Amino acid sequence: MPSDATPESASDRSADMPDTSLPFDGRDRNDVDPGRAMQQLLDAGGRPPHRENPFHVADRVLTPSRIIELLAPFMTERRLRRIRDVVQRRTRTVLPVVEGLVNTGNVSAVMRSAEALGYQDVHVVKGANEKRYKHSKRTTQGAQHWLDVWRWPDAEAFVGAMHESGYRVVVTALREDARSIREVDFTEPTALVVGNELEGASDAMLERADEAVVIPLDGFTESFNVSVAASIGLYHGREDRIRRQGRHADLTDEEQEALVARFCLRSVTNAEAVIERVLADQESKTDAGGA
């Protein structure tokens, strides 16, 4: 992605090991501010890596391998193995995208499906109806903490950046020229967009997208719930990639090492303070030995 491609970014949660659910306090859903709940959900995601150097600790710039080395003693071997295993299954070639969703439960469900199916990035495009948020008790089960959440002010900015980065934009829409999602080759860089719960994708998105697709249905029902449609589309994308090229994941070794380091930073409580303390102890021992 170009360095200026995300006018709005999610907040950085690189240090603390997150909860397994959203930070709601269990109050009745009518007592929860839906707008605040949506903001909490989006802010909980990881900051896209180009926004700032995640390996800049205090006045030092550390390599990903050095970060892992310093934090490994503060994690169980099982945890580190799990992180490496998950990272080995990740891709950024296909991008899950939601536009104008107003229900926190639907956004949570899309994030949960995306993370579970090995997609690293989730893009959120602001819609015209976002002042009328709705809150749902459904949660992501912590999935948002392991995703990079990109935020866009409108369809024009989003599609422009996607095209600049070599992605085609495919939007789910019930229109005459839409083709079956089965015909899409997901081994190519693709941004898969689902739109608002009631109105679908915006006119601006439909006008700028490269093509529209539908998920084939056999019953009387004409469409799926938006989170279900996204999950089916993402699962199909994963299966299509495996069928065509024998694998879903495609991060390079360098990209994997960087992502492992970032996940370590998110897994260790007060990770930056831990790193500073360890480095200070090592330097103190070095100075004492040379005295």
Residue type, position 76, single letter: T
pLDDT at 3 over 50: no
227-248 per-position pLDDT tens digit: 999 999 999 999 999 999 999 9
Position 11 scores a pLDDT of: 34
Neighbours of 38 (CB within 10 A): 21
- Of 26-30, 79-83, 104-108, 176-180, where does the model show the most confidence? 79-83
Tell me whether residue 141 is exposed, middle or buried, using C-beta atoms within 10 angstroms of its C-beta: 0 to 12, 13 to 18, 19 or more: middle
| 61: in domain | no
- Using 50, 70 and 90 to split pLDDT, how confident is the model at 56? confident
Q: Please report, for the domain that includes residue 190, its CATH number.
A: 3.40.1280.10
| 77: in domain | no
| 22: in domain | yes
| 190: in domain | yes
Q: Which two tokens stand for residue 118?
A: 């090995």
As a whole number of angstroms, the longest Cα–Cα distance in the chain is: 82
| 282: in domain | no
Our count of domains for the chain comes to 1
| 267: in domain | no
Mean pLDDT, all residues of the chain? 82
- Residue showing tokens 């899950």: 96
Residue type, position 10, single letter: A
Query: What residues make up the domain containing 229?
Result: 8-52+89-250
| 288: in domain | no
24-50 per-position pLDDT tens digit: 334 444 555 555 655 655 565 556 665
Neighbours of 105 (CB within 10 A): 20
First to last CA, the chain: 49
- State how far the Cα of 178 lies from the Cα of 52, in Å rounded to an integer: 39
91-131 per-position pLDDT tens digit: 999 999 999 876 778 888 999 999 999 999 999 998 865 55
